[in-house]
């Protein structure tokens, strides 16, 4: 990451943590200045349990990855990146809002609505960019 981007990330983190110290979301920067959002246990004393669950999730994901490697190798890489991006954005938005105190209607079922909204928005923006590119190509000809 460039020096300017790292400085911006560090400044963003300082401003967030100063403005919202009472939330259960902490922004941290890595050595490269990349912003990482980490949820904390909210003072519930369950950090050990959370770490164990994260370890179990790692083992589960690695096992599933080995099992589905062959079928997924036939899926175009950009399709996988698009789907993963949608899921990360959906869960990140949901958990960041919960950390800031938002109460979602339907609790975790709101994830489906949020995923649908973000997917529709993403497909709309992809189509918009595709049309823009086509019109630029037509203007060059």
pLDDT in tens, 98-141: 888 889 899 889 999 999 999 999 999 999 999 998 888 887 76
**What residue spans of the chain are helical by DSSP H?**
3-19, 47-72, 77-99, 110-140
> What is the rounded CA–CA span in Å between residue 89 and residue 62?
21
Mean pLDDT of 49-76: 80
Is residue 78 a contact partner of residue 134, using CB atoms and an 8 Å limit? Answer: no
Q: Could you tell me which of 121, 63, 71 has the C-alpha nearest to residue 93? A: 121
Confidence at 50, pLDDT banded by 50, 70, 90:
low
* pLDDT reported for residue 58: 77
* pLDDT reported for residue 101: 87
Domain boundaries, given as residue ranges, for the chain: 1-40, 44-73, 75-141
Residues of the chain with pLDDT > 90, as a percent, come to 22
> What is the rounded CA–CA span in Å between residue 99 and residue 93?
10
Sequential DSSP letters for 2-30: -HHHHHHHHHHHHHHHHH-TTSSEEEEE-
């Amino acid at each position: 990451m460039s020096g300017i981007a790292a400085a911006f990330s560090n400044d963003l983190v300082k401003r967030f943590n100063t403005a919202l110290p009472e939330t259960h979301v902490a922004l941290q920067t890595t050595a490269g200045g990349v912003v990482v959002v980490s949820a904390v246990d909210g003072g519930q004393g369950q950090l050990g349990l959370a770490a164990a669950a994260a370890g179990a999730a790692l083992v589960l994901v690695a096992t599933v990855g080995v099992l589905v490697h062959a079928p997924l190798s036939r899926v175009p890489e950009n399709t996988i990146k698009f789907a993963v991006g949608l899921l990360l954005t959906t869960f990140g938005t949901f958990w960041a809002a919960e950390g800031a105190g938002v109460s979602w209607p339907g609790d975790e079922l709101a994830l489906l609505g949020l995923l649908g909204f973000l997917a529709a928005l993403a497909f709309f923006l992809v189509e918009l960019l595709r049309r823009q590119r086509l019109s630029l190509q037509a203007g060059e000809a």
